[in-house]
């Protein structure tokens, strides 16, 4: 039994000028039998047919465009090995094309009507009219002035929905999904809620950035928008400022370690120490029975002695009895070294909360690993079997030509750094 072919009947037909009558383009089997049909559609149905055909053509043009070919090894090799020609069968295997059709005639008719790509005499191969241009400094210099940065997409946002969102303002070359690059290893490579969109024409990019908040909302959510180049400069400055701030916060004698036999209540603990001396940060992982109080000055020893002298050598806060000590020597230095990772993971968790659309929901914060008095970190490595399961869970099961539902990222280190967003949500 032959496999059923998914097709869009109207998409393989030729729409007349008044968009009310569609004359069928007979398939090979139909032509052999001398069949010819005529289907009447309502104007809104005909418009929908055209929209589907246009989206098919746009998707094929994206696959063979310079932007994608510089990132997609599969299609780049097809172009290079086939003297520019790409088999139509390769296009049919792509997921975003299969959403519309599995019939090659639909693709052929869509390209003939809405694209300038060439088809061979047999209508089984596709080719660009211009040569493929490899990525370069000049190409990036041309692309950046028409590239915008947009943030606050939810994790449920699809690439198709994003394309529709940006195409309201004009044709686009592509969309780069920004992904986590630093912090928790489990997050690396996953979408972080922001993108770079490359418009074909700079005026369209300008119109997008100048548009009203209401007209640029995505899923009823106000979006953060900026030029890519402007955002990159601001991001770099924020990072430098944060690094300076973190280094300045590494004050000897400023960290007080607390432990207890019950779960810690964050709010009463912070309020208690704020009354004694200004607190820069209370480092506490939810569910753990220890915390570190970072003071804005090297007063941890003085604060501890003051508490003990007024409470019979006990530390009792909100009904919980604590043991306390001031971090010193190797233990203090090892803890100072975790400050940057703590910042990154805290920032990433804020991004995750925004992406889930629920700012009130709390998420697990891994934070820095605890250190003992000698400054050593405990061995928390997983058993080999557990580690192997994690790798299997994160490993992709699909290989080209099956297409993933995200655009591939640039392979150069410079481009990856440009695409990364580190601004806290």
Q: What is the structure's pLDDT at 67?
A: 86
Residue 373 lies in a domain: no
Residue length, the chain? 425
Same domain, 218 and 260: no
425 falls within a domain: no
Are 228 and 270 in a shared domain? no
228 located within any domain: yes
Same structural domain, 113 and 176? no
Let me know whether 300 and 210 are in one domain: no
Within-domain flag for 354: no
**What are the pLDDT tens digits along the chain (425 aa)?**
444 445 554 433 443 333 333 333 444 444 444 444 444 556 677 788 888 898 899 899 989 988 889 889 999 999 999 999 999 999 999 988 998 888 999 999 999 999 889 999 999 999 998 888 888 888 888 899 999 999 999 888 998 899 999 999 998 999 999 998 876 777 888 899 999 999 999 999 999 999 999 999 998 899 999 999 999 999 999 999 999 999 999 999 999 999 999 888 889 999 999 999 999 999 988 888 999 999 999 999 999 999 999 999 999 999 999 999 999 999 999 999 988 888 887 788 878 877 776 433 333 333 444 445 454 544 444 433 333 333 333 333 334 433 434 433 333 333 333 333 333 33
**Do 26 and 59 belong to one domain?**
yes
Q: What is the pLDDT of residue 345?
A: 79
**The CATH number of the domain where 94 resides is what?**
1.10.10.10
CA nearest 408: which of 71, 109, 88?
71
Q: Quick one: 237 exposed, middle or buried, by C-beta within 10 A (0-12, 13-18, 19+)?
A: exposed
Amino acid 60: pLDDT? 93
Domain total for the chain? Answer: 3
119 and 81 in a common domain: yes
Task: Select from 301, 326, 351 the last residue of a domain.
Answer: 326
The residue among 326, 342, 360 that closes a domain is 326
Same domain, 29 and 119: yes
Considering the domain architecture, whether residues 146 and 238 belong to the same structural domain is answered as yes
How confident is the model at residue 182, as a pLDDT? 76
In a domain, 377, yes or no: no
Residues 53 and 145 in one domain: no
Range of the domain at 83: 9-127
Residue 41 confidence (pLDDT): 56
Q: Let me know if residue 390 belongs to a domain.
A: no
Question: What are the φ/ψ torsions at residue 336 (nearest 5 degrees)?
Answer: -55, -35
Helices (H) and strands (E) in the chain, counts: 17, 15
Is 317 within a domain? yes
CATH of the domain at 162: 3.30.70.330
313 and 236 co-located in one domain:
no
Q: Distance between CA atoms of 147 and 139, rounded to whole angstroms?
A: 12
Q: Could you tell me if 148 and 185 lie in one domain?
A: yes
The pair of three-digit structure tokens given for residue 176, joined into one six-digit string:
């780069």
> Please, what is the angle between helix 104-114 and helix 43-63, to 10°?
90
Whether 364 maps to a domain, the answer reads no
Identify the domain boundary among 291, 310, 326.
326
What local confidence, expressed as pLDDT, does residue 92 receive? 93
What is the reported pLDDT for 34? Answer: 47
């Amino acid at each position: 039994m032959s496999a059923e072919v998914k097709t869009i009947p109207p998409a393989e037909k030729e729409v007349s000028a008044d968009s009310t009558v569609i004359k069928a383009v007979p398939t090979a089997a139909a032509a052999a039998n001398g069949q010819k049909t005529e289907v009447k559609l309502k104007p809104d149905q005909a418009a929908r047919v055209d929209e589907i055909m246009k989206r098919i053509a746009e998707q094929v043009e994206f696959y063979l465009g310079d932007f994608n070919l510089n990132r997609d090894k599969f299609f780049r090799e097809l172009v290079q090995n086939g003297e520019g020609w790409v088999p139509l069968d390769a296009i049919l295997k792509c997921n975003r094309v299969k959403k519309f059709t599995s019939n090659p005639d639909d693709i052929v008719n869509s390209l003939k009507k809405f694209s300038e790509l060439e088809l061979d005499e047999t209508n089984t191969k596709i080719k660009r009219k211009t040569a493929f241009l490899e990525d370069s400094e000049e190409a990036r210099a041309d692309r950046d002035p028409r590239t915008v940065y947009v943030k606050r997409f939810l994790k449920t946002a699809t690439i198709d929905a994003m394309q529709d969102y940006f195409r309201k303002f004009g044709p686009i070359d592509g969309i780069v999904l920004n992904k986590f690059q630093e912090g928790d290893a489990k997050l690396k490579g996953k979408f972080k809620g922001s993108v770079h969109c490359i418009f074909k024409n700079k005026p369209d990019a300008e119109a997008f950035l100048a548009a009203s908040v209401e007209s640029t909302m995505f899923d009823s959510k106000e979006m953060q928008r900026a030029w890519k180049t402007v955002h990159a400069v601001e991001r770099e400055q924020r990072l430098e400022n944060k690094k300076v701030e973190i280094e300045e916060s590494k004050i000897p004698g400023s960290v007080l370690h607390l432990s207890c036999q019950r779960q810690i209540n964050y709010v009463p603990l912070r309020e208690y120490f704020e009354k004694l001396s200004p607190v820069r940060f209370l480092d506490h992982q939810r569910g753990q029975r220890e915390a570190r109080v970072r003071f804005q000055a090297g007063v941890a020893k003085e604060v501890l002695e003051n508490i003990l002298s007024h409470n019979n050598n006990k530390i009792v806060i909100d009904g919980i009895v604590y043991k306390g000590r001031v971090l010193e020597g190797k233990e203090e230095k090892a803890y100072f070294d975790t400050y940057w990772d703590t910042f990154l993971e805290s920032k990433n968790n804020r991004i995750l909360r925004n992406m889930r659309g629920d700012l009130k929901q709390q998420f697990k914060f891994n934070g820095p690993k605890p250190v003992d008095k000698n400054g050593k970190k405990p061995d928390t490595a997983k058993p080999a079997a557990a580690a192997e399961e994690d790798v299997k869970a994160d490993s992709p099961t699909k290989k080209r030509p099956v297409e993933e539902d995200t655009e591939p990222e640039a392979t150069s280190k410079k481009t990856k750094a440009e695409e990364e967003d580190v601004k806290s949500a």
